C-alpha cells in the first residue's frame, strides 16, 4: 500500500507543480474550454488575486508533496482547490471530468494515508 501512496503523492505533486507554474509562466497551450468555462476563468483573472492564489497554492502544495514534507498540511491546503477543479469540470467543462476524478483519486489515497493526522480536527 505504501507504494500506491508514494506514486499518488509524486503524481499529484508533479501535476500540481506543473499546472501551478503554468499559471504564472504559460508554457503549456491553453486548453479549449466551453464558453461558460472560458467566462469563469476570465472572471477569475479579472479579480486580480484569485488566479495567483489558486496557482500559488498548487505550486506550494506540489513542492511539499514532492519533497514528502508536511504532506498532511499540503493535503488540507489543496483540498478546496481540488473540489473547485472537480466542480469546474463537472458543471462548466464536462469533457475533462475524468482527469479531475483521477486527480481526486490521488488526493483521496494520500488523505486516507494521513487520516491519523486529521483525527483532532473532528473532535468537538
In whole angstroms, how far apart are CA 16 and each of 5, 65, 117? 16, 9, 22
As given in the structure block, the three cell numbers for residue 6 are 508514494
Residue 22 in this model has a pLDDT that exceeds 90 = yes
User: What is the pTM assigned to this prediction?
Assistant: 0.93
Per-residue pLDDT of 30-79, as tens digits, reads 888 999 999 999 999 999 999 999 999 999 999 999 999 999 999 999 99
As given in the structure block, the three cell numbers for residue 9 are 503523492
pLDDT of residue 121: 87
Amino acid at each position: 500500500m505504501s507504494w500506491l501512496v508514494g506514486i499518488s503523492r509524486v503524481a499529484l505533486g508533479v501535476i500540481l507543480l506543473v499546472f501551478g507554474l503554468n499559471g504564472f509562466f504559460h508554457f503549456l497551450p491553453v486548453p479549449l474550454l466551453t464558453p461558460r468555462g472560458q467566462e469563469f476563468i476570465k472572471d477569475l483573472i479579472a479579480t486580480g488575486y484569485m488566479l495567483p492564489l489558486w496557482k500559488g497554492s498548487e505550486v506550494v502544495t506540489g513542492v511539499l508533496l514532492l519533497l514528502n514534507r508536511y504532506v498532511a498540511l499540503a493535503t488540507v491546503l489543496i483540498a478546496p482547490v481540488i473540489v473547485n477543479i472537480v466542480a469546474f469540470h463537472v458543471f462548466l467543462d464536462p469533457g475533462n471530468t475524468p482527469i479531475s476524478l483521477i486527480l481526486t483519486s490521488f488526493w483521496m489515497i494520500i488523505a486516507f494515508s494521513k487520516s491519523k493526522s486529521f483525527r483532532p480536527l473532528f473532535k468537538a
